Structure 1
């Protein structure tokens, strides 16, 4: 959990810095920092895909997973329901900022594979890299949307903590194939988030989240059928 705690700490510090020093950041500074972070997120997504796709024994599975997951997410209106849930607590600009922060901090290869790597292999590289990225991003977001961005650290703690605990208890069931497929899909999702940050295309990334469950169901089905 040390990696997750560091990640939470950088978001809290970044939110405070962005909130109290926002007058020192001009609109041009906001724009260039968000462009920089958007490009960094795109790079992380492309890197994850390029790294894990060649290692996949089922190179079409991630495509099928995204299609099925996207349809499930759209059918359940996952993103709309998520936004409505936040609207009960937050309003307007603040809601938009916190939603963006949660998406950036929680949806992506580093935030998902990181806790799994930490639990299975005691490898904290992904989480520490994610902590640096989230810290810089939280400065930018807090300078625009205010201190409410810090609340995303609580969501991140629950999110990564849950993944870490699940991976610790399910270590035997999480095979290399499952981890590879989840990493590919996570790379695609973080790539879509990066493109959204850059303003090139607005993706419904949260509606694609169910895609990450499809490989687990697929491999569980294979095991039950003895294939």
Structure 2
């Protein structure tokens, strides 16, 4: 849970700092920080996938996972549903809009989903430390607009990532090393895509790709039925 506590702390610090500088974070500083984070996230994604690929027992599984995941995500219209949820807050109070936006941004992302799993299964906090740094910047920007109330998203994130952490711990005996390898490869690709979005190099609907993380477990479950 160390990585999650770090992530929560970063949101609390970012919200506090952002509320102090209510006039907003300078555009140049914000752009520089997001560029640095975008590059870091891209390299993290590349490193994760490249390290795991030589150990894959099914080299084309990640390609099939990405294709099927994208198809499922597009049919479910996950990205547009997410954007509509963000837009819905505009009709409510300013704080309500800020909180709904922050909760979705902090919780629904590859790093925030894969991070607790990696921490639980491998004691690897890299994803959560990276996510915490990104959330520090994001919470600063949001709090500079919506004030200190953004700090209320911290306990929500704690519950979200804590639940994923505990779930991964409970299922640890049922999760094999080959399965984790395939999930990590897909997760690395999705993290790279997130970095591309942060840098503004392309508009990738990463939420539509999230179902790709479910394909390797389903594949291994199907394989087990034939053995």
With the shorter chain as reference, the TM-score category is 0.7 to 0.9
**1:146–1:54: structure 2 CA closer, same or farther, 3 Å change rule?**
farther
Q: Which residue of 1 aligns with 2:211?
A: 210
Counting only pairs closer than 5 Å after superposition, residues 145-160 of structure 1 correspond to structure 2 as 147=148, 150=151, 152-160=153-161
Stretches of structure 2 that go unaligned for 5 or more consecutive residues are none
Deviation at 1:176, TM superposition (A): 1.0
**1:148–1:191: structure 2 CA closer, same or farther, 3 Å change rule?**
farther
- 1:220 equivalent to 2:189? Answer no
Deviation at 1:31, TM superposition (A): 1.4
Q: Which residue of 2 aligns with 1:175?
A: 176
- 1:134 equivalent to 2:130? Answer no
Aligned 8 A contact 1:7 1:128 in 2: yes
Stretches of structure 1 that go unaligned for 5 or more consecutive residues are none
Q: Which residue of 2 aligns with 1:67?
A: 67
CA distance in 1, matches of 2:145, 2:33: 12
Q: Which residue of 1 aligns with 2:9?
A: 9
Q: Which residue of 1 aligns with 2:201?
A: 200
Task: Provide the aligned length of Structure 1 versus Structure 2.
Answer: 225
Alignment RMSD (CA, Å): 2.9
- Deviations along 1:3-27, one digit per CA (max 9) or x if unpaired, are 3122112112112212322547322
Q: Which residue of 1 aligns with 2:113?
A: 112
Question: Does the residue aligned with 2:175 lie in a helix, a strand or coil?
Answer: coil
Question: Does the residue aligned with 2:57 lie in a helix, a strand or coil?
Answer: coil
Q: Which residue of 2 aligns with 1:162?
A: 163
**1:219–1:199: structure 2 CA closer, same or farther, 3 Å change rule?**
same
Aligned 8 A contact 1:4 1:127 in 2: yes
CA distance in 2, matches of 1:88, 1:133: 24
**1:179–1:193: structure 2 CA closer, same or farther, 3 Å change rule?**
same
Aligned 8 A contact 1:48 1:184 in 2: yes
**1:3–1:33: structure 2 CA closer, same or farther, 3 Å change rule?**
closer
Question: Does the residue aligned with 2:165 lie in a helix, a strand or coil?
Answer: helix
The TM-score, its normalising length taken from structure 1, stands at 0.83
